[in-house]
Structure 1
């Protein structure tokens, strides 16, 4: 059952508060009340509301001024005003400056409930739109490709920890697939239908990192010309994945620790705390224990985010997964380019298996995308691969000694390169016929 949404009713008439509180209360809605502007402000500071119903005339405040304050304090909330027939002009003005709708006294309860439900739907849409701006725009995989023991163990860990709400720290070299693990964790969690907000901490400007994470109020610092929500607000009820957490300025790390421990935060320039419900995922290619020792990472934060660690192997440590990853990426790239299927020749695959892959899975994908451009008839040969990969020894190499076949291939390749690809001159220099050269070029995928 979905979490009930929150409604605040503000009116100085006790009978109105009791009536609306009773009639609007349901499993889908939680109703709060306030009998004056001061109490309403205090309620909005302490709780997150989706819909606010407020009388336009209150003993200690004007409804239009209160509307502006509500929109500043809770931008995603929709405000409905209650007014008498004599104040219709004020209600119309309120809609112009941001109110969702107005209802007139005496009102019909079915009309109030209909307006509240529609306002809530709009609030949800507004919040989703704001969240979408902070999610990655590219379609990313939520599939761990591979059959190695290492990948099977990672899948096991994901299945175990995904349904919980504990923080997860994903470690591994750049390009090893940390973002894929994060997406798998979110997809298998109880928040899978909620936003997944992704932020690479390396892209945060040091001076504005606190504002981007927590938001700020108008005038809180030079350049803060309006109120702004941060990633904490957009990730509420969902998952926040902070990639490259080791790059987060140490001045901001203590504030993040507070969110993890108390589930509360403050926007920059704001005194009151906000409650938030977020599942946190973190990733880094650094050794955070060493960073703590060097004074570059907050020790308490390290222990708090390292509740559950998933360490990813390099691609060189799981070479048996290379053919499966090649098939997966070629199918993916083929669909994207709309150019059919691609295959890899046996000798090209030997080179891919022999290479160390310092850039890991990301480098493999980039190599395949480049090789597709150079391929003919959908077949990627050794000639399509970058030189540092195509020059990898074939399976015939052992103990650091090149096989005769390997030596022959390299000698022919160097001769072709020396003569600028002229096969006639190359064949003459090698002392073989052109047909023989052609057969060897085909044999060695040159």
Structure 2
């Protein structure tokens, strides 16, 4: 069997690894970007994707690349903390199955785990699709074509595969009324002030978060209300207009804001399709089930969805049966997460001074007996069903209490580091 996967992001790389390593498929991955994405923001990685990463053997790489964040602090224009949330409280609600990692680093770990037998081509994407009951021919933007048994659209919320096979974007993408951005910059003083905290402005309608990275850089994460879904022509100028009146470290971040080509900028949106597959064409990740950053699990759900699709392809009698099984199992989980994200939007970014005060009050109450687990559950969302209820996983992986029992975690992380260094040396 052969698969063409369009999109070398989290979902596409996860599926490529499973199809080749477990099912023995021939896999070609094409990505329209000229190279791996370097822009992105810190994510809290937990839930079914954490279970899938453990089952896939990639978790030690993620632990190596993760960051020890002590907590989130909401600060005013003078940098004074108005409310905070300790990550230990969040982690306890997840039985410790949580890590913080930069999104590009997550992609790096998945990419480095790919076999050299998997074809990975950057700078090329799909231009035309000819589908039949027996397979798919994909004509690429460089004029070449690839025949395959399955075409997978893992190319994000603005999916070209979805547009070619299902219809125009506006039919399936729901703008939630926010824009988001992320970039990195050099500022040693800001780096020292942030330490191991994720600091966010305690503001209404717009919010900038800053955190320190290992390489001495500072990362900025930005989200604000926006009525129009379209991206501004000059993203740097737009950010400076939107956030120019804020205090604390924001002016320094804006002064060091890189050119638009180095800023990640997009709308906050969800995708909703009546069906995730059409013949031998299927969508995964944000292409079909974007939950938005408000749900805090986009990367986790992308990995888990890819894992479940591969599992269905392994156990089903036909590709069509596998695609139907994947959607039947996974869609209810996505529907719940999308609904939860829309409900919690006001907490994520308060739209009024009253909502801001209520968020402060809620965060301050977390320290009360029993409140930390309630708050963590509210942030993490409902974790059931666990991955093992939806797919085949190793006996030691994917349950809420295995991380403490799993032997040799530090040794496995060291082995992962050694393997990565050997791979780099071989490539050089």
Relative to the length of structure 1, the TM-score reads 0.20
Larger radius of gyration: 1
| Structure richer in strand, relative to its length | 2
With CA pairs under 8 Å and 6+ residues apart, which has the higher RCO, 1 or 2?
2
| Structure richer in helix, relative to its length | 1
